[in-house]
Structure formats: structure tokens, C-alpha cells
Amino acid sequence: MINPPTECFFTMYLEGEAAEFVAATCSESVTSDIKEAILISQDFSNDISATISLDSTVERVKESLAGMELIEHEYINPLYTASTPEQLDTVLEGDVTSEQIAFTGADGNPFTMKMVEVINDNRDLVQAKLSCKPFELPSYNEIMHEHANLKLN
């Protein structure tokens, strides 16, 4: 499990009614003119604060969409949680036996820690990503050793 040594932040892309809610929060006079919105959070000193802020922002948007049938998908990058080797393999690019192994994450970026989607009728109303600023990732062997120790404890 990696604890990012850098600041974390989230980005959120909103469409339709979700974008209108955010626009109304800023200025009620432009609500009907806004069809898409992009939010970028402040930098947080740690991933816990960033995660709490992201989760509460997604919840506020979902509350504004009360009455709509919403489906939420959440993905957490196994590099940043206690995970099995099989879960870690889902974020690897390359053959484990080769010398070139890259951690890609679900979106091709190993620094994306979490992704959230809120969908209604096959429309993505919210797409959010929690990321940390780039840092030097540990080697494959170091990560696997760390995860093995977490499982034993």
C-alpha cells in the first residue's frame, strides 16, 4: 500500500442537471445557460482530506438530483489500498517476468487514486478523479513485498 508523499486533489466533470446544480451554487442567474462544468479542488496535504472532500462533494451533487435514478460506480486504485497480488496485476502494464513493468491504474495514470461516476439513463452526470501529484513510485518488488506484509499482519 502506497501512502503518497505529495499533495492530492480532485477534478470533477459534471453534465446536465449536475452541472446546473453547481452553476446555481455559484450564481442562480446562469443556471439554465450551463450544460457542463469542471471543478478542480484545492491541493490537500494528504489523501484522506482529499477523499473526504471528494466524497462529500459527490454526495451534495447526488442530493441535488433527488428523484432521479442514479447509479454510482467507484474504483479505488489497488496501489493505494491493502490489495491482493491479483488486484495489483489489474494496474500493471507489461509482463511480470520482464524488466519493464509500469503501473498504469485504471485510466492509464498510476497517480489516480480513486474514480467515481454517477450515471442516470446512460448519461454520465458526474465523472470525478482523486489524484496525487507525481512522485517516484516504488519498484514492483517493493510494492509486492509491502502488500504481502500487510496481509500477514
DSSP one-letter string for 76-90: E-GGGS---HHHHHT
pLDDT tens profile 88-116: 777 766 555 555 566 777 787 889 999 99
The answer to whether the beta carbons of residues 147 and 85 sit under 8 Å apart is yes
Q: Among 4, 75, 1, which Cα is nearest to 44's?
A: 4
Predicted structure pTM score: 0.81
Residue 119 has φ and ψ, to the nearest 5°, of -120, 145
pLDDT tens profile 32-49: 678 899 999 999 999 999
Residue 34 burial by Cβ neighbours in a 10 Å radius (0-12, 13-18, 19+): middle
The answer to whether the beta carbons of residues 117 and 72 sit under 8 Å apart is yes
Degrees, nearest 5: CA angle 72-18-51: 55
pLDDT tens profile 50-64: 999 999 999 999 999
Q: Among 146, 147, 148, 72, which Cα is nearest to 116's?
A: 72
The answer to whether the beta carbons of residues 73 and 119 sit under 8 Å apart is yes
